[in-house]
Structure 1
C-alpha cells in the first residue's frame, strides 16, 4: 500500500492512530516561539527539590484568586460564579491544570524539535498538541479581546490594515484555528 504524502499545513491520520503534519521552517519557528511564550506565561513547574517529601506535592494548594492577566484568566477561569466555591475549587485544581497545560506545550515543542519538517505524533502526543493549540488560541484571543461577535465575522478585527500592530497576532490566531480544526478532524477519522 502506498504511503500518503502529508499535505503541508494539514494534519493527516497515521496508521494505528495519531497524526502527522508537514510544516515549513517558518511555520515551525512561529509555532515553537508561540509555544515557548505559552510555557513562560503559564509559569514554572513545582520546585525540583530532591529532599522534598513526595506526598507534600500531592497536597500542595494552589492560588485561591483568579489571575489578573486576562490571558491567564482565560486559561484558568473560575469554575463557579460563586466566589467562595470558585476559590476553593481553584485552590485544589489549578496547580494540576497548570502542570498539564505546561506539559502539553512542552510536548509540542519537543515534537517540533525532533520532527523537522515532518512531525509525527502518537495518539497521546496528538491529544497534547490539541490541548496546546487550544491554549495558544485562548491566549491570543484574550490578547486580541476576541469576542463571539469577532469569531462570527461581525468585527473589524479580521480585516485590519496591514500596518496595524495586531495583524500578525490575528493571522497567528486564524492559522492556529486552522491547525486545531485539522487536528480535530484527523483524530475523529
Structure 2
C-alpha cells in the first residue's frame, strides 16, 4: 500500500502516508486554497446573495488559475478563429464564466478543504505515519483535489503535452525545478491509483 491507493471492501480507498508525505500534500492543498481565494460572499451570512452572486467575466491573469478555470468556448488546440468568430467565442465564454466560475471555485475549495481536514484527522491519531482511509465520497473529493494540484504544478512547470513530461524525467538533480517535478510525478501516481479504486 505505500505510495499508492488500494480499494477498501465496500467502497472507498486507503493509502499509507508518512509524516513528510502528509505535510507535503497538506501544504500543497493550503497553497491551492490560497490561490483559489475565498468565496464571493464568505462571512456575509446571506446564502441567497451567494446563490445569485455573479462571478468574473474575464479569464484570470494567473496562468495557474487560467488552467484551473479555462475558457469554455475556446479550444486551444484549434486554429485561431476569424475575428468575428473569435469575438463571439469571447462573449460566450464571458457569459458562461460569469455564471459558473463561482460554483467551480467553491467545488475546488471544498475538495482542497476535504483533503486538509482528512490529513489533519490522520495526523491527530499519532506520530509517524498512518493509513488514510477514505469513503467513496471522500475519494471523489481527493481525486478532484489531486487533479487540481497536478494542473497547478504542471502549469508552473509549463507542461503542455506528454513530451514536456518526458523531458522532466531527464532533469539533473541540481535543477531547481526538480522538487516540483518529483511532487508532480508522485501526485500523478496517487491520482492514477485512486482512479483505479473508483472503477467498477
TM-score where L is the length of structure 1:
0.91
Q: 1:94-113 residue pairs with structure 2 within 5 A?
A: 94-113=101-120
**Corresponding position: 1:188 with 2:182:** no
Q: Determine which structure has greater relative contact order: mean sequence separation of CA pairs < 8 Å that are 6+ residues apart, divided by chain length.
A: 2
1:1-189 aligned within 5 A = 7-45=1-39, 46-50=41-45, 52=46, 54-81=47-74, 82-116=89-123, 117-148=130-161, 149-151=163-165, 153=166, 155=167, 157-189=168-200
For residues 186 and 160 of structure 2, the distance between their equivalents in structure 1, rounded to whole angstroms, comes to 17
Name the count of aligned residue pairs. Answer: 178
- Residues in 2 aligned to 1:107 and 1:49: alpha-carbon distance in whole angstroms: 22
| Counterpart-to-counterpart distance in 1, 2:196 and 2:156 | 27
**Shift in Å at residue 188 of structure 1?**
1.1
Deviations 1:76-117 (A, max 9, x none): 000002100000000000000000000001001111111242
Q: Which runs of 4+ in 1 moved over 6 A?
A: none
Distance in 2 (alpha carbons) for counterparts of 1:73 and 1:158: 25
Determine the C-alpha separation between the residues in 2 that align with 1:56 and 1:147: 38
Cα offset for 1:142? 0.3
Alignment TM-score, normalising by the size of structure 2: 0.86
User: Which runs of no fewer than 5 residues in structure 2 stay unpaired?
Assistant: 75-88, 124-129
- 1:108-161: CA deviations, max 9, x gaps? 11111112421111111000000000000000000000121213x2x3x22111
